[in-house]
Amino acid sequence: NGSVTCTFENNGQGTLKIVTNTVGASGSSLSDPDKFFEYTIKRFDPGSPSQTISTLTVNTNREVRKDAIRGDEWTGEKQIDVDKGITVYSITQTISKKGWALDSVQCEVQNKNSASPTGIRTQYAYGILNVTVRGQRTTTCTFKNTRKGELEIIENSQGVSSNQSAGNKFNYNINFVSTEYFTPNILPFAIASDQCGGQSQGQSQVCTIDQDCNICKENCGVCALPKTPPPGPGYSPSRMTVEVNGRQTKRIYPGTYEIVEYLPDRSSNDRWELSSVKCTLANGQSGGVSTGRGVDSLNVYAGKKTTCTFSHGLTIPVIGPGGGGGGGSVEPPRRTLKPIQ
């Protein structure tokens, strides 16, 4: 005649809420297309291969923080009632608009006095799997998105004829340093080596590139561009190539970067020389620190463009006479660079 206590899961409808947070939307209008994010919600039927598919659109129309440099922050949410009982879903965000990176997805089931995590983040589908929704409870999934910035590199070689520069291209390694934005789940950025690709016979030391690849080639043997892995899903290029007096623009994840330049090889006696680097932010402020081989501490902000102009000239090496004489020590020949007239 003992008693038995039974606990029954409530069989009412549950609620699935999707919250979307963004940084760097391009427009302030509440109807701007950049503010609408679409989601595909798939319900997995237990014991059956069939799926129930629905869609949901979130309008990020509430401004959280305004920042003309770093990028404005917006948020929005929408919820739907789902089937009764315990149901399991996969949710994917449609990446149809260019320039957005999905940084993180977190889902929680709201209990009486706390919340418990649910779901497994997918690396390639821009979403989350195995999200549980329980009857008469709310499961909230928060998607954090950052609009990528733009990096424009302009090559400026005034006074250099097309015959002199034929076939020459400048390579730039775009090295990620850090970010103060949402930390991406994966940072697929290549860090370029500062070392030459080879050495001359009889030399054992590793030679660094003090000025440019041509200097390395003369003093250390073979000079090769570092090999870089392919860029990760949607974040950043690891290299840009710009023709003489040309320009290239790439979308990259906002953060701080180092740009390392590799000058074109020349078959003639003259060589390229980097004379200056100037970088400006979208608001006209100067950015970055010139290193002699490129620029360091360069900021790229969400939804904004950073422009760097690399100015070059062709120079020809001239071997000057050594000093000394009269029985004293003889100074070794010095090499000076003379601009081509």
Whole-number pLDDT of residue 311: 95
Query: What is the tens place of the pLDDT at every residue in 30-50?
Result: 677 788 999 999 987 666 666
Question: What single-letter amino acid sits at 138?
Answer: T
Instruction: Give the mean model confidence (pLDDT) for residues 142-149.
Output: 90
Residue type, 293: R
Lowest pLDDT segment from 65-79, 155-169, 271-285 = 155-169
Q: In this structure, what DSSP letter does residue 165 have? A: H
Other beta carbons less than 10 A from residue 285's beta carbon: 10
Asked which of 23-27, 209-213, 269-273 is least confident by mean pLDDT, the reply is 209-213
pLDDT bracket for residue 114 (50, 70, 90): confident
pLDDT digits (tens, 9 = 90+) for 159-209: 788 777 788 899 998 888 888 876 544 433 222 233 333 333 344 444 443
Q: Which amino acid is at 180?
A: E
Give CA 27 to chain center in angstroms: 21
Q: What is the rounded average pLDDT for all residues in the chain?
A: 75
Element (H or E) spanning 216, and its range? helix 213-220
Confidence class for position 2, pLDDT limits 50, 70, 90? low
- The conformation of residue 235, written as its DSSP 8-state character, comes to S
Confidence tier at 321 by pLDDT (50, 70, 90): low
pLDDT higher than threshold 90 for residue 79: yes
**pLDDT score at 10:** 54
| Pairing relationship of beta strands 120-122 and 149-156 according to DSSP bridges | unpaired
Is the pLDDT higher at 204 or at 316?
316
- Tens-digit pLDDT profile for residues 245-271: 999 998 888 889 999 999 888 777 788
Characterize the bridge pairing of strands 100-110 and 138-147. antiparallel
Lowest mean pLDDT among 84-88, 105-109, 283-287: 84-88
- Read off the pLDDT band of 288 (50, 70, 90): very high
Q: In the prediction, which pLDDT does 212 show? A: 32
* 29, pLDDT greater than 50: yes
Task: Name residue 114's amino acid.
Answer: S
Tell me: pLDDT of 210 over 50.
Answer: no
Q: How far apart are CA 68 and CA 236, in angstroms?
A: 23
DSSP class of residue 33? G
Q: How confident is the model at residue 123 (pLDDT cuts 50, 70, 90)?
A: low
Confidence label for 84 from pLDDT (cuts 50, 70 and 90): confident
Q: What is the pLDDT of residue 12?
A: 76
Read off the pLDDT of each residue in 212-235 and give the average, rounded to a whole number: 41
